[in-house]
Amino acid sequence: MTERVVLAYSGGLDTSVAIGWIAERTGAEVIAVAVDVGQGGEDLEVIRQRALDCGAVEAYVADARDEFAEEYCMPALRANALYQDRYPLVSAISRPTIVKHLVRAARQFDAQTVAHGCTGKGNDQVRFEVGITSLAPDLKCLAPVRDLALTREKAIAYAELHKLPIATTKHNPFSIDQNVWGRAVETGFLEDIWNAPTKDVYNYTDDPTFPPVADEVIITFEKGIPVALDGVPVTPLQAIQEMNRRAGAQGVGRIDIVEDRLVGIKSREIYEAPGAIALIAAHQELENITVEREQARFKRTVEQRWTELVYDGMWFSPLKKSLETFINDTQQYVSGDIRMVLHGGRATVTGRRSEASLYDFNLATYDEGDTFDQSQARGFIEIFGLTAKLSAARDVKFGNGVDLSGSSLPGSQA
């Protein structure tokens, strides 16, 4: 039986050429797999036919937009996932979605190898291959760009020689990856980190310098999931799409960051994630009134580790699964409404309400009706500060007390 290779297929130049390139260099039949995670562009049937026209023996296409929103974006939202406190894992959470369909197609078409179009310098090669072998340890992985020397110049020449039905150009300056959760742009003149992004870099967001009239929105959550906007019920996908539209019109969610890649290099990335950034800001604020203090403090530690694991391609890892169990438990009471104003690149929370709120007006107020017994504060402070007081007394006893004569930073002159 002829060996078969399942290829993650985007419909673009590189993966279209990879179909014939893989077949010629390995002798295998290629099955193209296209997965729609809300990236926009061409119809799946058009992409499917192009894959067949480029030499694929089979073409598997899947509309995974709802699946992506519900099973990947919503866990990221509940985790307030922001890598390096800024990047909402736009590409990182789409890869395991695609991986699941690649493995499914490999089983369906009796393939022994799964191929992807990643280079040897980025994070995505890890996300694809670790994800694939986590779901199917018996499958082999192949990266034509990395393993079979498929450069862009060779891809253009191959497409022209074989008259493949795909546009070829050497002039697109950027590498772009996008889905419903956001958009990632890199390479070209952006690799000089002193260069400012130009207007043509952006697509999901309008210029926040000249915003339209401020847009007020009320986001309703149930157990950490957005279920309505301004009282109108929405699915997770609809919530993201509508917030992309409304927050994007106000320039919310533009991110310019030099991030630490898994492979050890620093990379300048431009992201647009209007819906993700606005929804995360709203979710965090609702958690502030519904999640108990110690639980919330520990959740921030869990969130960071969850985010790092997902960024590093460990979506299917045992630790990520365990951390998610904790995160899901914290969402039991994260239900209620957040009022938010979108304007000039900012998503600002102006109101919050929840039946499960831990905020007690009578405890918080300084006016009439205050039920907080302030007389108990003195004893609380004595006990709370006892260990620090004892330690300070020991320091004084041994001549190590704090020098109160002046202060200076290490290495400076007082």
Cβ distance 190 to 197 under 8 Å? yes
Does residue 207 have a known ligand-binding role? no
Does residue 60 have a known ligand-binding role? no
φ/ψ of residue 258, rounded to 5: -100, 110
* Nearest one of 272, 273, 257 to 73, comparing CA atoms: 273
Q: What sign results for the dihedral spanned by CA atoms 365, 370, 376, 378?
A: positive
Query: Quick check: is 124 catalytic?
Result: yes
Does residue 40 have a known ligand-binding role? no
Does residue 85 have a known ligand-binding role? no
Q: What is the 3-state secondary structure (H, E, C) of 325-380?
A: HHHHHHHHHCCEEEEEEEECCEEEEEEEECCCCCCCHHHHCCCCCCCCCHHHHHHH
* Nearest one of 336, 232, 249, 231 to 290, comparing CA atoms: 336
DSSP 3-state of 285: helix
Q: What gap in Å lies between CA 263 and CA 313, rounded to an integer?
A: 12
Does residue 339 have a known ligand-binding role? no
φ/ψ of residue 98, rounded to 5: -65, -40
Neighbours of 375 (CB within 10 A): 7
Instruction: Out of 78, 91, 124, 268, pick the active-site residue.
Output: 124
Does residue 412 have a known ligand-binding role? no
Does residue 9 have a known ligand-binding role? yes
Instruction: Out of 53, 66, 104, 175, pick the active-site residue.
Output: 175
Residues paired with residue 35 on neighbouring β-strands, in sequence order: 62
Cβ distance 30 to 56 under 8 Å? yes
Does residue 16 have a known ligand-binding role? yes
Does residue 117 have a known ligand-binding role? yes
Does residue 362 have a known ligand-binding role? no
Query: Quick check: is 78 catalytic?
Result: no
Neighbours of 289 (CB within 10 A): 17
What's the burial of 328, exposed, middle or buried (CB within 10 Å: 0-12/13-18/19+)?
middle
Residue with the two structure tokens 């009282």: 231
Instruction: Out of 14, 94, 268, 335, pick the active-site residue.
Output: 14
Does residue 365 have a known ligand-binding role? no
Residues paired with residue 218 on neighbouring β-strands, in sequence order: 339
Instruction: Out of 4, 48, 78, 95, pick the active-site residue.
Output: 95
Does residue 368 have a known ligand-binding role? no
Query: Quick check: is 268 catalytic?
Result: no
Q: What gap in Å lies between CA 410 and CA 414, rounded to an integer?
A: 10
Does residue 8 have a known ligand-binding role? yes
Residue with the two structure tokens 């438990």: 329
Query: Quick check: is 192 catalytic?
Result: no
Does residue 10 have a known ligand-binding role? yes
Does residue 119 have a known ligand-binding role? yes
Does residue 11 have a known ligand-binding role? yes
Q: What gap in Å lies between CA 63 and CA 171, rounded to an integer?
A: 30
What does 90-159 look like in DSSP terms, one character per residue? TTTTHHHHHHHHHHHHHHHTT-SEEE----SSSSHHHHHHHHHHHH-TT-EEE-HHHHS---HHHHHHHH
Binding residues for ATP: 8-16, 117
Q: Which residues participate in the annotated binding site for L-citrulline? A: 87, 123, 127, 175, 259, 271
Detail the residues annotated as belonging to a binding site. 8-16, 87, 117, 119, 123-124, 127, 175, 259, 271
List the catalytic residues: 14, 95, 124, 175
Would you list which residues are annotated within the binding site for L-aspartate?
Answer: 119, 123-124
